[in-house]
């Protein structure tokens, strides 16, 4: 990552893992209310670009033999997203801790992963569904993206993001909206009225090659081990 860039480039096995600018963040117009828009092409594929965020900070936090960490901030005029990337020895995945400060109106923030996507498998309740390039769709804990030959090229899992679209060869994950509360739209949301999702939002996600381990990695992310501090006492082990 470098300051001023439009995205964060990732490499796996010495080769670029994502195309284009890499992992990036875009803000698109979302004039619809709390329940979304009507069943029209414009409402089902929110791609009218309002802002493309840039990297304004990139700092290496850790350089250890077991783990490395990079902190990067993507920012626009009114909001920003802090991402801390963790790479662990022996783990074929990038783990990311995210913190968003969101202050928008009538907009939607999306993370963008350009991978030349031709189709994607979405985790849904009790099943998996494969979708061709499409507009706004719901998803579950993970998404596996395939190229034109049907090979997996990206695995994405999160503990908080469940809305996606597959547009122009890129997987995009919705992070936050800024519609009015109990608001039907499409009139502009007045500045004195509160907007949903505004403020601080935290979530985690991971990126992998999308192999058979993805569902298990998603479960680990959503249900991490619970750690308890207890008083010392004698046990069965030395």
SS3 (DSSP) at 200: strand
Region of poorest pLDDT, from 53-67, 115-129, 182-196: 182-196
Residue pointed to by tokens 């963790």: 86
- The whole-angstrom separation of Cα 182 and Cα 13 is 48
Query: What single-letter DSSP state applies at residue 38?
Result: -
Tell me the whole-structure pTM to 2 decimals.
Answer: 0.91
For the cut 80, the answer to whether the pLDDT of residue 149 exceeds it is yes
Per-residue pLDDT, averaged over 127-150, amounts to 94
For the cut 90, the answer to whether the pLDDT of residue 40 exceeds it is no
Confidence of residue 96 (pLDDT cuts 50, 70, 90): very high
Q: Which H, E and C letters describe 202-233, residue by residue?
A: EEEEEEECCCCCHHHHHHHHHCCCCCCCCCCC
- The whole-angstrom separation of Cα 237 and Cα 32 is 60
Q: Give the pLDDT score at 163.
A: 96
């Amino acid at each position: 990552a470098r300051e001023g860039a439009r995205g964060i480039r990732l490499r796996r096995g010495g080769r670029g893992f994502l195309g284009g600018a890499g992992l990036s963040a875009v803000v698109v117009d979302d004039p619809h209310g709390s329940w979304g828009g009507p069943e029209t092409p414009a409402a089902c594929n929110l791609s009218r670009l309002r802002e493309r965020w840039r990297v304004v900070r990139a700092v290496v936090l850790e350089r250890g033999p077991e783990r490395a960490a990079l902190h990067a901030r993507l920012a626009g005029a009114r909001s920003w997203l802090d991402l801390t990337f963790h790479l662990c020895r022996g783990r074929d995945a990038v783990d990311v801790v995210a913190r968003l400060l969101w202050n928008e109106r009538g907009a939607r923030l999306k993370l963008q992963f350009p991978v030349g996507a031709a189709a994607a498998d979405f985790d849904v309740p009790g099943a998996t569904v494969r979708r061709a390039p499409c507009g706004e769709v719901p998803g579950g804990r993970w998404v596996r993206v395939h190229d034109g030959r049907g090979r997996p090229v990206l695995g994405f899992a999160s503990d908080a993001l469940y809305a996606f679209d597959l547009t122009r060869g890129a997987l995009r994950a919705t992070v936050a909206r800024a519609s009015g509360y109990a608001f039907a739209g499409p009139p502009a949301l007045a500045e004195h009225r509160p907007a949903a999702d505004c403020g601080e939002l935290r979530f985690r996600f991971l990126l992998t090659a999308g192999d058979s381990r993805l569902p298990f990695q998603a479960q680990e992310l959503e249900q991490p081990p619970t750690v308890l501090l207890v008083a010392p006492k004698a046990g069965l082990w030395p």
